[in-house]
Amino acid sequence: MIFRLAIASLFARALTVGMTVLAIALSVALFLGVEKVRTGAKASFADTISGTSLIVGARSGSVQLLLYSIFRIGNATNNLTWQSYQDIAARPDVDWIVPISLGDSHRQFRVMGTTKAFFEHYKYRQGRSLAVSQGAVMDDLFDTVIGADVAATLGYKVGDPIVVAHGLASFTEHKDQPFRVSGILGKTGTPVDRTVIVSLKAIEAIHVDWKSGAKAPGRATPTDAIRQMDLTPKAVTAALVGVKSPLQTFALQRAINEYPEEPLLAILPGVALQELWAIVGIAETALLAVSAMVVVTALIGMMATIFSSLNERRREMAIFRAMGARPFTILGMLVFEAMVMATVGAVLGLALLYIGLMIAQPILDSAFGLWLPIEAPTLREFWVIIGVICAGAIVSLVPAIRAYRMSVADGMVVKT
């Protein structure tokens, strides 16, 4: 009987109750959405590289090496000499090694020099391989394979010419050696989508007439002559390494870090990612705290709504008391109403979250390479909903206790 009266009372105040439920729903959707983005970002970062045992570069910081070699963020402090690269490649415990050369750009997209082994050994999202959706992997010296975002943003098709610029923010272009788009990679959701990939020899070819970071005046070596040159690089930016046995990883890492010929650094991608998340952990915690405060604010708003309705419901409460309802019954009814509002709001918030995910998933994947999987609600999300319902019951106790203390006479008196 009391439950039916409580439901009827909620419907009688549909507008106020609806606004309160909407506020709770939006706050729950925001809190769970921040959690989804946080875990999705972690997963996307972790899935950017898979199956690579070590990343090798000049000695710097492990996070810095990870950022510029894999995520194309920042620049290397120094290069890895070709002789050192060959020494590492010749070690018996190395299964495969892929060189990476960075430094140039094309219309704000990074240009990466590498070998065909990159397409064979680079893995993402737990072992997926790169796939060419159009064309083929570069075959000629001046062929290039571009990422899906490069093609979509610049409108490139197979066969289109590309002129690479020297450096990252330089207006000097290698116009004498234009490239041709030989292939376009399928979407991966990784920095590869925003990369222009050329051969390692091509990086050397476009810098034949360059010295100390600038083009030598009056020099313009013909393309045919360049093709006949020895284009073996003198240095590369970094290298991706796979070992024959996981048990050999740490021994190889130690040997590279102690390499006597030059200061080198070998890092485990997973460990470096953990370091990266430790750095951004403060901002992550702050974001969660802000979203949690939004939920608390919505619950306080619900308490204020119940308080404001008590004046309007004084006579209703008094009639219930006069008909034999005990004070605990009145208290229980108000708590039940609050729990109903919190439950509907939390469930609606969860529904809004998944509707938002369906809309935002392709947008975030395309714009930021951030993949947010749409999966069944997790146990954590159910605990959040239960927590909101319990918190709703707790905050409703304050106005409920006030109603509990109201006397029958107080409810029957008309206050002016």
Which of 31-40, 190-199, 378-387 tops mean pLDDT? 190-199
The per-residue pLDDT for range 253-294, each reduced to its tens digit, is 999 999 999 999 999 998 998 888 877 777 777 877 888 888
Domain limit, last residue, from 244, 267, 290: 267
Could you tell me which residue, 35 or 345, shows the higher pLDDT?
A: 345
Condensed to tens digits (0 to 9), the pLDDT of residues 193-243 reads 999 999 999 999 998 887 766 777 777 788 888 899 999 999 999 999 999
Q: Is 199 a member of any domain?
A: yes
Q: Show which of 267, 296, 318 is a domain's final residue.
A: 267
120, part of any domain? yes
Query: Of 177-181, 376-380, 391-395, which range is least confident?
Result: 376-380
Contact (CB, 8 A) for 317 and 309 = no
Amino acid 35: pLDDT: 80
* Other Cβ atoms closer than 10 A to 172: 12
Does 276 map to a domain?
A: no
223 and 79 in a single domain? The answer is yes
Cα separations (Å) of 63 from 51, 258, 265, 402? 18, 19, 11, 57
**Token output for 47:** 């899935």
**Measured distance CA(119)–CA(98) in Å, rounded:** 10
Residues 332 and 289 in one domain: yes
* Cα angle for residues 355, 361, 364 (degrees, 5° grid): 135
Euclidean distance between CA atoms 227 and 205, whole angstroms: 8
pLDDT at position 398 = 79
Using a pLDDT cut of 90, give the percent of the chain over it: 41
- Cα–Cα distance between 36 and 336 in angstroms, integer? 30
pLDDT in tens, 339-380: 888 899 999 999 999 998 888 877 776 666 666 777 788 888
CA distance from start to end of the chain: 33
Q: Same domain, yes or no, for 58 and 35? A: no
pTM exceeding the 0.75 threshold for the entire prediction: no
Q: Which residues of 265-299 are buried (b: 16+ CB within 10 A; e: fewer)?
A: bbbbbeebbeebeeeeeeebeeeeeebeebbeebb
Do 257 and 285 belong to one domain?
A: no
Res 294: pLDDT? 84
274 in any annotated domain: no
Determine the pLDDT at residue 37. Answer: 81
Range among 8-12, 205-209, 321-325, 367-371 rated most confident: 205-209
Residues 129 and 231 in one domain: yes
Range from 73-87, 183-197, 291-305 carrying the lowest mean pLDDT: 291-305
Position with higher pLDDT, 84 vs 39? 84
- Identify the burial level of 36 via C-beta atoms within 10 angstroms of its C-beta, where 0-12 means exposed, 13-18 middle and 19 or more buried: buried
- 353 and 320 in a single domain? The answer is yes
> How does residue 137 score in pLDDT terms, banded at 50, 70 and 90?
very high
Report the pLDDT value the prediction gives residue 136, as an integer from 0 to 100. Answer: 94
Name the pLDDT band for 9 (thresholds 50, 70, 90). Answer: confident
Q: Which of 215, 244, 267 is the last residue of a domain?
A: 267
pLDDT number for residue 171: 66
- 273 in any annotated domain: no
Query: What pLDDT does 312 receive?
Result: 65
- The confidence score (pLDDT) of residue 36 equals 82
The pLDDT assigned to 288 comes to 78
Identify which of 36, 347, 342, 96 has the alpha carbon closest to the alpha carbon of residue 241. Answer: 96
Residue 39: both structure tokens together: 């875990």
Whether 111 and 201 map to the same domain: the answer is: yes
Together in a domain, 100 and 14? no
Residues 173-186: what's their mean pLDDT? 91
Q: How far is CA 20 from CA 4, 13, 16, 342, in A?
A: 20, 11, 6, 9
pLDDT band at 79 (very low <50, low <70, confident <90, very high): very high
Question: For residue 138, which of 101, 182, 98, 200 has the smallest C-alpha distance?
Answer: 182
* pLDDT value of position 170: 61
Specify whether 263 is located in the same domain as 308: no
State the chain's mean pLDDT as an integer: 85
Which range (174-178, 248-252, 304-308, 388-392) has the least confidence? 304-308
Indicate whether 66 and 203 sit together in one domain: yes
Q: What Cα–Cα distance (Å) separates residue 309 from each residue in 87, 170, 339, 404?
A: 79, 66, 16, 14
- 297 within some domain: yes
> What is the total count of domains within the chain?
2
On whether both 33 and 77 belong to a single domain, the answer is no
Structural domain containing residue 361:
2-45+281-412
User: Which two three-digit tokens encode residue 371?
Assistant: 């993949």
pLDDT band at 395 (very low <50, low <70, confident <90, very high): confident
Task: Confirm if 393 and 303 have CB atoms less than 8 A apart.
Answer: no
The DSSP secondary structure of 123-136, one letter per residue, reads EETTTEEP-EEEE-
**What confidence score (pLDDT) does residue 267 get?**
96
1 pLDDT above the threshold of 80: no
The pLDDT of residue 116 is 93
More confident site: 35 or 349: 349
Higher per-residue confidence, 11 vs 264: 264
- Residue 63 included in any domain: yes
Residue 272 covered by a domain: no
Q: Are residues 219 and 333 in the same domain?
A: no
